[in-house]
Chain A
Amino acid sequence: MTYESVPGFLEEREAHGETTVVVERETLAEAARHLRDEAGFNVLADLAATDYLGWERPRAAGYWGDPRGRDINSPGSWGLQTQPEPKPARFSVSYHLLRVTSGAREAPRLRLQVWAEDGDPIPTVVGTWPTADWHEREAFDLMGINFEGHPNLTRIILDDDWDGHPLRKDYPLGGEPVRFSGEE
């Protein structure tokens, strides 16, 4: 099924058996409504925000193989240093959609993805899928993504007076250094 008729369509990718549709951030609400009503994706299974800060830094060499062995024609498997492809923006928000039909023996899924820089507002989809309420609050709380139009965008997982957004890559892991009992 092709998704080019989705409002704000930018790109469609297939990988590992999953389809990802990238749409423009500003028209996300229309895209969501279209996918719910025209394409029938009536359940928002998950809303995942990812921070790609530091994605382009060069990484150490390594190779990977699979049970058939190494593919000698693929440069990534020669032990050469691979430069990852740069991402369109710092944050991506992926909406995992699912079509639930009572009694069905198939589960069509779709990943709807938008990209945003730090501070860019993303329209809320609470009007389409009410379950997005807490998911968006959590993405705001832990990643700092601003959802425009959300009726109650407050912290949900952390203390109300917490500073910062922990899941960002520039927020430290925290914790304590481990002290060993034999140390001075």
Chain B
Amino acid sequence: MAVAKPQPQVIYEGTRVPQPVPTILQVDPALREEGDILEVNFGPNHPSTHGVLRLVVELNGEQVVGLRAVVGYLHTGFEKNMEAKTWWKAITYPERIDYVSFQNNELVFVLAIEKLLGIEPPPKAQWMRMLLCELNRIHSHLVWLGTAALELGAISMFWYCFRERDAILDLFELVTGARMHTRYFQTGGLAEDIPAGFYDECRSFADSMQARVDEYEDLLSGQAIWLERTKGIGLLSAADAVALGQSGPVLRASGVDWDLRRAQPYLAYDEVDFDVPVYPNGDVFDRYKVHMDEMRESTRIVQQALDGMPEGPWIVDDRKIVLPPRHELHTSMESLIHHFKLVTEGYRVPEGEVYVAVESPRGELGCYVVSDGGPKPWRVRFRAPSLVALEATATCMSDALVADLIAIVGSLDTVMGEVDR
């Protein structure tokens, strides 16, 4: 590859990434003159359940020859809003970014704060965080499976998946008090200790989950219509996936064995045993298989986390960051002062910048935090895997039909809250 000015856009021979704009599939000019191109708008509100994604599609008969994705219909101004809140209050915001795997977002922001502060939460907090994030991964994949199957016509999957999903949300409610957007991770550990009865409920859920995943596979994997609608559709080669910055199930379904839980273990992932599913073909069916296998692996991690859950404190013991226990406020003057300062002003995070990445159900979720040494963040930026996955729609869409469009966009598992932030 010669280094020349201006930079050539061809990344390697045989790439299917469109030129000149990598994210827009443009109609061949010859086809535009002779063919009958119809421009259709899959507007922000459409029957498929992806949220507010707008696709401007150009069709030649049934075939998709032009594609442009328009996003921004859910822009909420998270990053600017978090700059106006103290660190403690700002933790409430990231959950709403990727609203299906909410605890992963919280986790990445809290890990970034802890990295800047230089503190390490106690083992019980690490294991519990890992357990909740894996439950959240199962939750996210269930929602994905239910809605993706619903769009392709396999409507009953929706009800089965949401049955398990409600069981997981019951577990979240048992631990944290809320079904979604739990706000349970705190700088230094967890907000509260784990309530009694949680472990037994979680264990009975995990024991039944493996059988359920097998049930879902039985319903779909051998089904002729499902196979015809997903096999060989939406191909993305490994090199294209890497060039487009993909991660998570999309990358693993294209044959690249890459998982942040194994490559840069965080929390307690290096102490549990799990496999990373990788499939070679890079089509919609492989992405579906990756999701199913990940549900099984997550259930295994949950079971191991229950077995290996350590005892001990659930939050770090540093009174400059963590509220002192309430009974101390009556006897210790310093505790009272610290409590007051933490509640009114909040803790201060030393000056610096960090980038922390975790493996969310959609891929690499990253958080770039710049601190100026004060009680409020200076800049918070979230790297959303769904934005990057949407960039790959134009590449996956070469020789697709209209019906495949839905299958492909569904298989990329995008959550629009993440894309627009």
Chain A residues with a Cβ under 8 A of chain B = 15-18, 20, 29-30, 33-34, 37, 42-46, 48, 50-51, 55, 59-60, 62-67, 76, 82, 84, 94, 96, 98, 100-107, 109, 111, 124-131, 133-135, 138, 142, 149, 151-152, 155-159, 166-167, 171, 173-174
**Min CB–CB distance B140 → chain A (angstroms):** 20
Q: Which of A44, A48, A134, A173 has the most CB of B within 10 A?
A: A48
CB B369 to nearest CB in A, in angstroms, measures 10
CB-defined contacts of B387 to chain A, threshold 8 Å? 134-135, 138
Inter-chain contacts of A33 with B (CB < 8 A): 1, 3, 7
Residues of A within 8 A of B318 (CB): 65-67
Assuming the contacts A33-B7, A46-B355, asked whether A59 and B374 have C-beta atoms less than 8 A apart, the reply is yes
Do A18 and B354 have beta carbons less than 8 Å apart?
A: yes
Q: Which of B9, B245, B381, B420 contacts A157 (CB 8 A)?
A: B420
Q: Would you call B364 an interface residue if the criterion is a C-beta within 8 Å of the partner chain's C-beta atoms?
A: yes
Is B8 at the interface (CB under 8 A from chain A)? Answer: yes
The answer to whether B372 touches A84, judged by C-beta atoms less than 8 angstroms apart, is yes
A-B CB proximity, top 6 nearest:
A127-B7, A131-B245, A130-B22, A46-B383, A107-B264, A107-B263
B6, B242, B348, B349: the one contacting A100 at CB < 8 Å is: B242
We find that the number of chain B residues with CB closer than 8 angstroms to chain A is 75
**B373 CB–A CB distance under 8 Å:** yes
Q: B314-351 interface mask toward A, CB cutoff 8 Å, 1 = contact, 0 = none?
A: 00111010000000000000000000000001011111
Establish whether residues B6 and A149, one from each chain, have CB atoms under 8 Å apart when the complex forms: yes
Smallest CB–CB gap between A40 and chain B, Å? Answer: 11
8 A-B residue pairings within 8 Å (CB atoms): A33-B1, A42-B242, A45-B364, A102-B255, A102-B256, A127-B7, A135-B387, A152-B21
Q: Are B263 and A43 in contact (CB under 8 A)?
A: no
Which residues of chain B have C-beta atoms less than 8 A from A62's C-beta? 345, 348, 373-375
The one of B72, B317, B388 that contacts A158, using a Cβ cutoff of 8 Å? B72
Kindly report which residue of chain A lies nearest to residue B370, judged by CB atoms.
A50
Contact across chains for B3 and A66 when beta carbons are under 8 A apart: no
Which B residues fall within an 8 A CB radius of A?
1, 3, 5-9, 11, 17, 20-24, 71-72, 75, 77, 79-81, 84, 115-119, 238, 242-245, 247, 251, 255-258, 260, 262-264, 316-318, 320, 345, 347-355, 357, 364, 366, 368, 370, 372-375, 378-379, 381, 383, 387-388, 390-391, 420-421
CA distance A78 to B402 in the complex (A): 66
A135 to chain B, nearest CB (A): 8
A127 in contact with B8 (CB, 8 Å) = yes
Asked if B263 and A104 make an inter-chain contact with CB atoms under 8 angstroms apart, the answer reads yes
Given contact pairs A59-B373, A111-B355, A167 touches B7 in the complex (Cβ within 8 A):
no
Please report the C-alpha to C-alpha distance between residue A94 and residue B370 in the assembled complex, in whole angstroms: 11
Smallest CB–CB gap between B19 and chain A, Å? 9
Given contacts A43-B242, A173-B81, 15 further A-B contacts (CB under 8 A): A16-B116, A50-B370, A55-B378, A59-B373, A76-B373, A102-B255, A109-B355, A125-B7, A129-B245, A130-B244, A131-B243, A133-B391, A151-B9, A158-B72, A158-B75
Would A43 and B245 count as touching, CB distance under 8 A? yes
Provided the pairs A65-B320, A82-B373, A104-B263 are in contact, do residues A46 and B381 lie with their beta carbons within 8 angstroms?
yes
A100 and B256 contact, Cβ closer than 8 Å, known pairs A126-B22, A151-B20, A166-B80: yes
The distance in angstroms between the C-alpha atoms of A62 and B11, with both chains bound, is 50
Nearest opposing residue in chain A for B6, CB measure: A149
Report B222 CB to chain A, min CB distance, Å: 29
Q: Is the interface of A mostly helix, strand, loop or mixed?
A: loop
Cβ-closest chain A residue relative to B8: A127
A residues less than 8 Å from B243 (CB atoms): 42, 129-131
B372:A59 contact, CB within 8 angstroms = yes
Q: In the complex, A18 Cα to B369 Cα: how many Å?
A: 13
Q: Are A48 and B381 in contact (CB under 8 A)?
A: yes
- The smallest C-beta distance from B350 to any residue of chain A, in angstroms, reads 6
Residue B258 contacts which of A44, A46, A104, A173 (CB distance < 8 angstroms)?
A: A104
By beta carbon, the residue of chain A nearest B270 is: A105
Contacts of A127 in B (CB 8 A): 6-9
Q: Are A149 and B355 in contact (CB under 8 A)?
A: no
Separation of A44 and B242 alpha carbons in the complex (Å) = 9
Q: Are A105 and B263 in contact (CB under 8 A)?
A: yes
What distance in Å separates the Cβ of B363 from its nearest Cβ neighbour in chain A? 10
**A35 shortest CB reach to chain B, Å:** 12
Chain B residues whose CB sits within 8 angstroms of the CB of A15 once the complex forms: 352-353
Question: Contacts of B71 on A, CB cut-off 8 Å?
Answer: 156-157
| CB pair A157 B75 closer than 8 Å | yes
Of A50, A55, A60, A66, which contacts B117 at CB under 8 A?
A66
- CB-contact partner of B355 in A18, A76, A84, under 8 A: A18
Give complex CA distance A16, B71 in Å: 34
Q: A53 CA to B281 CA in the complex, in Å?
A: 48
Chain A residues in 8 Å Cβ range of B375: 62
Check A45/B6 contact, CB under 8 A, given A16-B352, A62-B348.
Answer: no
